[in-house]
Amino acid sequence: MSTFVYDLIGLSAGICFILALKGLSSPKSARRGNLIGALGATIATVVIFFYAMPDKNGNETSLPINNLGWILGAMAIGTLIGVPAAKKVQMTQMPQLVALFNGVGGGAAALVAIVEYLNLGTDATTAEVIATVFTVVVGCVSFSGSIITFMKLQELMTTRPVVFPGGRFVIAGTLVAVLGVSGWVVVALGTTPLLILAALSLLFGILFVLPVGGADVPIVISLLNAFTGLTVAASGYVLDSTLLIIAGTLVGASGTILTRMMAEAMGRSLFGTLFGAFTAKPQEAGGAAEERPVRSGSPDDVAILLNYARRVVIVPGFGLAVAQAQHTVRELADLLIAKGIDVAYGIHPVAGRMPGHMNVLLAEANVPYEQLAEMDEVNPTFGQTDVAIVIGANDVVNPAAETTPGCPIYGMPILQVSNAANVIFLKRSMRPGFAGIENELLYDPKTMLLFGDAKASLTKVVSALKGL
């Protein structure tokens, strides 16, 4: 196959990726878009086996390509790991899987750059060395950072921001070291400096993500996703592959926009997300607030309240996802509908562990599409709502976002459940949400709290309701 034909096929794969991203932007074409993307990736992967790449001296190499057995074996192992993971993952754990996939992609890009560097040796041009350094640094940051986000989402470690004394100086110091060693690699052209650089970059990725709080982790995953895209583009430059440049840049650019849109939906600036933990002031009145009386109810109280309602809005959040209560909540909704009660789900754009995550979860439980109401649709209806049930959500209904300038979530659009006649909170404890701020609504006289695991509580409410 000539280079011209090869590049032409590469171009068609690039077009597939553009169409894939375009398709994924609209609900109707999303699934087709993903399949087009997969087609593009398949074309790009298959064609490389039929192309005799020019070697370092520009002579065509012979087919089949070298190390074919190793290559196919490694691809088989990757498939055997990746496909079952993707097929078996619970939908509630899907965000951390995406984080992990992104991380290994970043790691792969860093490895590719290192191998190419070893291979080129002193033949590398300065531009190639700079691109290599960029790929190694950003790929390693993406890898170790994604592992940390995975651990946070999987709750293998605390979801709260991890800040240690002098943390910002350690991070700044590491960054300076990374930049310094990068310069060293460009000047000295050695394997040792490159490996030191990789190690430092891995460390920086960990330090960079540790201070990010649980609720902001999705934004970081999206940012790291964009990073990985850019590393792919840079390694495309080193390997002289137009396709990698196109695909990587597309992901880098769209990932950046997506990150910004997510941050906007959460009412956060990107800067605040990444560095907020360092500037946040300690919460005032945290201890005193615990003492205030709240009205807690039994599952029977909740069932009675629901039984005599005409309109009920269900507001699902993190807690519902964690308790895997999406099927139970649908059971409750079906029961209420059978009693002639008007039921809607109020979905906050960032409810769940990722924007749009709640829609995926409820879809898994076969909740009919027309019952899912987006925030702008449902907010004006809370005035006519008798009961709003907030299940494992907190920050997305916290009126402080509208009333308390200066609080961390001020400015974030919220679901105005406080306008409903009654509010029921299903919570595990009085612990504040991920943002770590008190919710005044919990102390409101019209609020009833039902403590416990969301799934267990809902099951009790359902059986109480059946008995009425």
Among 200, 367, 409, 424, binds other proteins (CB under 8 A): 367
What span, in angstroms and rounded, lies between the C-alpha atoms of 274 and 446?
37
Nearest Cα to Cα of residue 212 among 151, 273, 141: 273
Binding span for other proteins by CB under 8 A among 22-30, 153-161, 314-322, 452-460: 22-30
Binding span for other proteins by CB under 8 A among 208-216, 220-228, 416-424, 454-462: 220-228
123 in active site: no
| Long-range pairs of 48-51 with CB within 8 A, sequence gap ≥ 24 | 50/1, 51/1, 51/3, 51/6
Q: What DSSP string runs through 313-371? A: EEEE-HHHHHHT-HHHHHHHHHHHHHTT-EEEEEE-TT-SSSTTHHHHHHHHTT--GGG
The verdict on 247 binding other proteins (CB under 8 A) reads yes
Q: Are 381 and 421 in contact (CB under 8 A)?
A: no
Cβ proximity to other proteins, 89 vs 179, nearer residue: 89
Length of the chain: 468
Cβ proximity to other proteins, 230 vs 305, nearer residue: 230
What span, in angstroms and rounded, lies between the C-alpha atoms of 442 and 397?
10
User: Of the listed 55, 395, 444, 453, which one is catalytic?
Assistant: 395
Q: Which of residues 30-59 bind other proteins (CB under 8 A)?
A: 30-31, 33-35, 37-38, 40-41, 44-45, 48-49, 53, 55-56
What span, in angstroms and rounded, lies between the C-alpha atoms of 235 and 247?
11
Q: Which of residues 395-434 bind other proteins (CB under 8 A)?
A: none
The verdict on 374 binding other proteins (CB under 8 A) reads yes
Give the orientation angle of helix 270-279 with respect to helix 242-265, to 10 degrees: 60
Binding span for other proteins by CB under 8 A among 10-18, 301-309, 314-322, 429-437: 10-18
The verdict on 214 binding other proteins (CB under 8 A) reads no
Among 249, 283, 404, 419, binds other proteins (CB under 8 A): 249
Q: Which of residues 327-356 bind other proteins (CB under 8 A)?
A: 349-350, 354-356
CA distances from 229 to 116, 199, 354, 446 (A): 18, 21, 20, 49
The verdict on 217 binding other proteins (CB under 8 A) reads no
What span, in angstroms and rounded, lies between the C-alpha atoms of 204 and 198?
10
The verdict on 118 binding other proteins (CB under 8 A) reads yes
Among 255, 299, 392, 433, binds other proteins (CB under 8 A): 255
Among 1, 2, 8, 22, binds other proteins (CB under 8 A): 22
The verdict on 78 binding other proteins (CB under 8 A) reads yes
The verdict on 133 binding other proteins (CB under 8 A) reads no
Residue 105 CA, chain-centre distance (Å), reads: 15
Cβ proximity to other proteins, 27 vs 340, nearer residue: 27
Among 340, 366, 405, 467, binds other proteins (CB under 8 A): 366
Cβ proximity to other proteins, 255 vs 436, nearer residue: 255
| Minimum distance from residue 100 beta carbon to other proteins (Å) | 8
CB-based burial label for 90 (10 Å; 0-12, 13-18, 19+): exposed
What span, in angstroms and rounded, lies between the C-alpha atoms of 398 and 459?
26
The verdict on 93 binding other proteins (CB under 8 A) reads no
Count of Cβ atoms closer than 10 Å to residue 121 Cβ? 10
Among 96, 132, 201, 235, binds other proteins (CB under 8 A): 235
| Minimum distance from residue 308 beta carbon to other proteins (Å) | 29
The verdict on 370 binding other proteins (CB under 8 A) reads yes
Q: Is the peptide bond before 432 cis (omega within 30 degrees of 0)?
A: no
The verdict on 144 binding other proteins (CB under 8 A) reads no
Among 165, 279, 281, 369, binds other proteins (CB under 8 A): 369
Active site residues: 395
